[in-house]
Structure formats: structure tokens, C-alpha cells
Amino acid sequence: MQTVMTVEEIREFLRVEFPQINALGEAFSVEEVSDGQAVMRLRVGKMHLRPGGTVSGPAMMTLADLAAYTAILAHVGPVALAVTTNLNINFLKKPAEGDLLATCSLLKLGKRLAVVECGIRSVGEDDLCAHATATYSLPPR
């Protein structure tokens, strides 16, 4: 699967179409796209933490969802109406302090559905702190 959008094009698309994701500062950023994959970073701030100092589940779910959407956009182009139909996440361990990276791989890219697998790691760590799968409904192209 070849990419049709660059990192810069995806960043601009998200800035225009979904300004709310970074309304409180640039927390989420597209790091890279390549054939069949995308990587997104969460710059962890106080608003992403829960009691005990760990990154909250909703913050990691948002990262997985945005990273999956980014992987799809990179391969189908700027489709604002692609929507999440399912998101499943398993929290595997407490993330280390600092930023998180979500690496997503396209498992299926069909005419109407896309299925993505996403591994979330703390920067500099090998072990996953969360694993997610997401299914998106794609509008007719």
C-alpha cells in the first residue's frame, strides 16, 4: 500500500479539519508515514495524567484513534468523513514518564472499511504499554 499524502499534508489537514485535537497546545503530532504505516506522538502534559501520575486511558485511546486515522489518510487521501466504527484497546503496562508513540499498521484497506493495528510505546522503550485495533468506515470514493 503506497502513501498518497505526506506528513506535512496530513498535519495541515488535521490542523484545518480537526483543530480541537490541539486546542490546548500541540499535544498530538504526526511523526512519519510510510507504505502501510503511520507514527503519531503524544506530547504528554498534565492534562493527560490521572492520579498516580500515569497517562490516562482516554488519552491513550485518543492517540490510538488519531494514529489509526492518520494511517488511513496517508493511504486514501484527505477524507474527513472516514469515521471510527470500532476501537478496542488493551492496556498492558504503565507507561514511562514522557511522550508516547503510536505505530499503526494497515491490516485491511478496502472500499468501505479499513482495519488498523496500533502499538503504543513510551519513547525509548521497546515494550508496548497498550495495543489497539480500530475499524473505520470509509465514504464512497
Q: What local confidence, expressed as pLDDT, does residue 6 receive?
A: 96
Give domain status of residue 1, yes or no: no
Give domain status of residue 56, yes or no: yes
Q: Could you tell me the residue range of the domain that residue 50 belongs to?
A: 7-137
CA distances from 12 to 1, 28, 67, 70 (A): 22, 13, 15, 12
Quick one: average pLDDT of 78-82? 92
* Model pLDDT for residues 82-138, shown as the tens digit of each residue: 999 999 999 999 998 899 999 999 999 999 999 999 999 999 999 999 999 999 999
Q: What local confidence, expressed as pLDDT, does residue 69 receive?
A: 97
Residues in the chain: 141
Quick one: average pLDDT of 36-62? 94
Total domains in the fold of the chain: 1
50-88: b or e for each residue (b if 16 or more CB lie within 10 Å)? eeeebbeeebbbbbbbbbbbbbbbbbbeebeebeeeebe
Give domain status of residue 2, yes or no: no
Q: Would the pLDDT of 24 be above 80?
A: no
Q: Which three cell numbers stand for residue 31?
A: 511523526
> In this structure, what CATH number is given to the domain that contains residue 17?
3.10.129.10
Identify the band that residue 1 occupies on the pLDDT scale cut at 50, 70 and 90.
Answer: confident
Quick one: average pLDDT of 4-13? 96
Q: Please say whether the beta carbons of 5 and 45 come within 8 A.
A: no
